[in-house]
Amino acid sequence: MAWTRKQKRLGVIAGLGLVLALAAGLILTALRDQIVFFYSPTEIAENGVANGTPIRLGGLVMDGSWEQNGETNVFVVHDGESQMTALFNGILPDLFREGQGVVAEGSMQPDGTFLATNVLAKHDETYMPREVADTLRNEGVWQGEGS
């Protein structure tokens, strides 16, 4: 039985659709851990992030935790349930303050601290990244307005 031109076209289209669906599935599987904008200290503790894996840590800078020695900065990020010590070598943003939202990019170290390579702070009095605000609201730590 010979296929008609219409059947051949439908077969090619179905084959291409299958290939595209398979490619999309593979890409999403490979990126599933990187799609998250940031992890809270609680999520890092629960999920056991491997040392050296690049991630983003988000939460509030704990009051009284920031220590600065030259360009070496040590501060504690918390989400109301857990806390994590972060180390950053460099100049922090001018708006970095204790008690405010922060997202730090970096990786976990073997001693359980977070080594930040970049720190992002609030840029005005009313802004907090939506993901940070939602997590902190869910934990009952922050009651501020929407982002």
Please check whether residue 75 is in contact with residue 101, taking contact to mean a CB–CB distance below 8 angstroms. Answer: no
Q: What is the DSSP letter of 38?
A: -
Query: Which DSSP string corresponds to 82-125?
Result: -EEEEEEESPPPTT--TTSEEEEEEEE-TTS-EEEEEEEE--SS
3-class secondary structure, 39: strand
Beta bridge mates, 84:
77
Q: Would you say 127 is a known binding-site residue?
A: yes
Binding residues for heme, as ranges, are: 123, 127
Binding residues, as ranges, are: 123, 127
